[in-house]
């Protein structure tokens, strides 16, 4: 019941705001024009030579009829009646019909006005009221016309009756057409409203998606580079406290290089330029650089275990290679900033039709269900953008293991030793299952 009521409200609102269509306005003026034309015709007949006082009185009554009809019709224009008419039209149709009936006391020629009144009452009143008024107008026309005949001929009765039937058929047909026009007009407005709503929602969704993309790019590039700069400068400050000038100078140079990379990333971001994504051996070199930078700015020993060949790195789609770089940078930054770990292991490999990226640390750990930081949300969105997923296994005091699973291109999917496709890996490695090699 409530759903139906909710559905009906928009239609009612559209009905209330529905303006008369050009078709309806033209039809209304056509009916009025027909009435005025017939009144003018009858006035001309009444004043035809030899004119008489009776003719002038008839014309005066016709002028009064036209005045009452015009005033009432003009007021009716302010009330936008639908295709089914309105009972308020009786306010001017009743007096107009009464005045017209009085003209038969002066002569039968005003019977011609009946045809125009047939259309007027049928069009202006609801169907039931129009039929009753049509019968009244027809009866007045027949009785008024035959009262002036000595011998009533069938045609004198059939004429007004046939005119009424023609008017009834025309008005019923026209009302059906007008109702269809109104229905289609209403449908067009509903479609226009729906189109505007969809366009507004699309703009809102697009804006939100672009905002998320910008936030993700800033977090995974500029924000991480700034974090590295701060950590490098903190380490340089500690080296100065130990009077280790060589170490402090090296750290400052690395911070300067990180600042240069940040500036380059910012310029590319402002210029909306697509950053260069390395592939093959260059991609491996960039991954080693990210791991080395993370080891320098943090207290943890960070290692990279790349179980992937250069040709496989070369075959990675550009979007996947970019996702791997951003995920490694973001997840290492999270581990450096929050994990308080002593060792972190990054593993990249291919298993079957999947590219696997694991980042495991022996830090403080957390409850995944209770942590929803922007970094993890950004990493999850980054993985989803290439059709992948991100799995987290962690517990307080037991470190954290994050596995990202991304699809491998179908045409270059790897196979197992028995020649068949390898089964997908669905489990996330536990920190306790990862063996950290001792640093040399």
- Residue 402 — pLDDT band, cuts 50, 70, 90? very high
Domain positions in the chain: 2-196, 301-440
H helix or E strand, kind and range, residue 285: helix 281-297
Q: Is the pLDDT of residue 7 over 50?
A: no
Coil, helix or strand at residue 234: helix
- Residue 438 — pLDDT band, cuts 50, 70, 90? very low
Cα separation, 291 vs 345, in Å, equals 9
Cα separation, 22 vs 181, in Å, equals 10
Q: Looking at residues 70-96, what average pLDDT do you find? A: 78
DSSP-assigned letter for residue 436: P
DSSP-assigned letter for residue 364: -
Cα separation, 84 vs 93, in Å, equals 16
Q: Looking at residues 219-245, what average pLDDT do you find? A: 76
Q: Looking at residues 369-382, what average pLDDT do you find? A: 79
pLDDT for residue 108: 87
Are 345 and 303 within 8 A, CB to CB?
A: yes
Tokens linked to 253: 């140079």
pTM to 2 decimal places: 0.45
Q: What angle do CA 57, 58, 59 make, to 5 degrees?
A: 90
Nearest CA-CA partner of 262 in 222, 322, 218: 222
Nearest CA-CA partner of 436 in 302, 279, 257: 302
Least confident of 56-60, 113-117, 265-269: 265-269
- Residue 187 — pLDDT band, cuts 50, 70, 90? very high
Least confident of 305-314, 352-361, 390-399: 305-314
Q: What percent of the chain is predicted at pLDDT more than 90?
A: 15
Higher-confidence residue of 411 and 107: namely: 107
Are 186 and 11 within 8 A, CB to CB?
A: yes
User: 301-440 in CATH: which number?
Assistant: 3.30.565.10
Nearest CA-CA partner of 355 in 291, 414, 395: 414
Are 283 and 316 within 8 A, CB to CB?
A: yes
Least confident of 3-7, 242-246, 318-322: 3-7
- Residue 271 — pLDDT band, cuts 50, 70, 90? low
Cis peptide bond upstream of 276, omega within 30: no
Q: Is the pLDDT of residue 422 over 60?
A: no
3-state percent helix, strand, coil for the chain, nearest multiple of 5: 70, 10, 20
Coil, helix or strand at residue 403: strand
Are 428 and 395 within 8 A, CB to CB?
A: no
Q: Is the pLDDT of residue 4 over 50?
A: no
Nearest CA-CA partner of 140 in 117, 165, 162: 117
pLDDT for residue 345: 92
The phi and psi torsions of 434 (rounded to 5 degrees) equal: -95, 125
Q: Is the pLDDT of residue 364 over 60?
A: yes
Coil, helix or strand at residue 262: helix
Helices (H), 125-244: 127-146, 154-218, 224-241
């Amino acid at each position: 019941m409530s759903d139906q009521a909710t559905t009906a409200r928009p239609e009612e609102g559209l009905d209330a705001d529905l303006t008369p269509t050009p078709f309806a306005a033209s039809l209304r003026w056509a009916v009025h024009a027909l009435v005025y034309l017939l009144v003018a015709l009858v006035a001309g007949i009444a004043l035809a030579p030899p004119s008489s006082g009776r003719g002038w009185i008839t014309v005066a009554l016709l002028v009064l009829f036209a005045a009452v009809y015009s005033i009432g019709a003009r007021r009716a224009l302010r009330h936008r009646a639908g295709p089914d008419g309105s009972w308020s039209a009786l306010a001017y149709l009743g007096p107009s019909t009464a005045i017209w009936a009085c003209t038969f006391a002066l002569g039968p020629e005003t019977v011609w006005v009946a045809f125009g009144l047939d259309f007027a009452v049928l069009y202006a009143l609801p169907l039931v009221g129009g039929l009753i008024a049509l019968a009244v107008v027809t009866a007045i026309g027949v009785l008024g016309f035959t009262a002036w005949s000595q011998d009533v001929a069938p045609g004198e009765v059939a004429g007004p009756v046939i005119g009424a039937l023609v008017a009834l058929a025309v008005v019923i047909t026209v009302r059906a057409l007008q109702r269809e026009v109104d229905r289609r007009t209403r449908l067009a407005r509903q479609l226009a409203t729906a189109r505007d709503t969809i366009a507004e929602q699309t703009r809102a969704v697009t804006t939100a998606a672009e905002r998320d993309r910008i936030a993700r790019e800033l977090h995974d590039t500029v924000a991480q580079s700034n974090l590295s700069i701060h950590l490098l400068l903190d380490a340089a400050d500690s080296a100065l406290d130990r009077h280790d000038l060589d170490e402090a100078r090296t750290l400052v140079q690395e911070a300067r290089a990180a600042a240069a990379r940040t500036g380059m990333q910012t310029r590319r971001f402002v210029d909306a330029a697509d950053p260069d994504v390395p592939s093959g051996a260059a991609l491996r070199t960039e991954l080693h650089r990210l791991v080395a930078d993370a080891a320098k700015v943090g207290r943890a020993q960070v290692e990279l275990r790349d179980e992937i060949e250069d040709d496989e790195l070369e075959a990675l789609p550009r979007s996947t290679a970019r996702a791997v770089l951003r995920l490694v940078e973001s997840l290492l930054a999270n581990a450096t900033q929050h994990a308080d770990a002593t060792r972190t292991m990054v593993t990249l490999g291919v298993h079957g039709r999947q590219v696997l990226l694991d980042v495991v640390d022996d830090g403080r750990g957390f409850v995944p269900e209770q942590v929803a930081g922007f970094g993890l949300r950004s990493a999850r969105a980054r993985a989803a953008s290439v059709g992948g997923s991100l799995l987290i296994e962690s517990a307080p005091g037991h470190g954290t293991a994050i596995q990202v699973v991304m699809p491998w291109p179908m045409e270059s999917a790897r196979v197992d030793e028995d020649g068949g496709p390898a089964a997908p890996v669905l489990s996330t490695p536990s920190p306790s299952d990862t063996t950290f090699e001792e640093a040399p």
